[in-house]
């Protein structure tokens, strides 16, 4: 069963890459007391994720924040070192990268996918959500192979 609008996010540990090294972050603490635009990708450095998904949020970061978003975050079933490298290569300081290396967050919200046909194993589905004080207020899950409803442009229209 996947998470739905109105649900509270489960409390799991994610890992934020920092200059000082990986920093564990409890999801309950990260999402508490703020409005977060969260998007998830199947994998850092993968084609759609790097060419379209992340760049859209980098480009629209100021517009999202102008519409009341306190923080923009991306998560993926990748380790924090890969997420840190992706942040340096394609990200911005406006976006927080959250590694879900063991897929615990993706599994806890019921949004995993089987990428084993591509050698990826179990990964996160592509989605976006608006989270206010830990509660999902908007949820946009992509159909397999699609990229439209989880884009920054679509989220701007929801705010």
105 is written with which tokens? 């967050």
Active site residue 49: yes
Nearest 5 degrees, angle CA 93-CA 54-CA 152? 100
- Biggest CA–CA distance in the chain, Å, is 40
Selection from 23, 48, 26, 55 nearest residue 125 by Cα:
48
- Please tell me which residue in 15, 44, 49, 95 is annotated as part of the active site: 49
Do residues 44 and 79 make contact, with C-beta atoms less than 8 angstroms apart? no
Do residues 108 and 1 make contact, with C-beta atoms less than 8 angstroms apart? no
**What CA–CA distance (Å, rounded) separates 48 from 149?**
14
Contacts of 36 by beta carbon, 8 Å cutoff, 6+ apart: 30, 69, 70, 71, 72, 73, 130, 131, 132
Catalogue the active-site residues.
Answer: 49
């Amino acid at each position: 069963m996947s998470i739905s609008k109105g649900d509270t996010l489960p409390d799991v540990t994610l890992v934020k890459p920092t200059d000082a090294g990986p920093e564990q972050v409890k999801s309950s603490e990260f999402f508490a007391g703020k409005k977060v635009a969260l998007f998830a990708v199947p994998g850092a450095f993968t084609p759609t994720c790097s060419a379209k998904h992340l760049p859209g949020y980098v480009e629209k970061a100021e517009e999202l924040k102008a519409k009341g978003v306190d923080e923009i975050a991306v998560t993926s079933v990748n380790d924090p070192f890969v997420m840190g490298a992706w942040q340096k290569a394609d990200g911005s300081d406006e976006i927080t990268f959250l590694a879900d290396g063991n897929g615990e967050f993706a599994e806890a919200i019921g949004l995993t996918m089987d990428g084993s046909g591509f050698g990826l194993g179990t990964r996160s589905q592509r989605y976006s959500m608006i989270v206010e004080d830990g509660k999902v207020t908007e949820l946009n899950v992509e159909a397999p192979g699609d990229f439209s409803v989880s884009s920054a442009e679509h989220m701007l229209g929801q705010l």
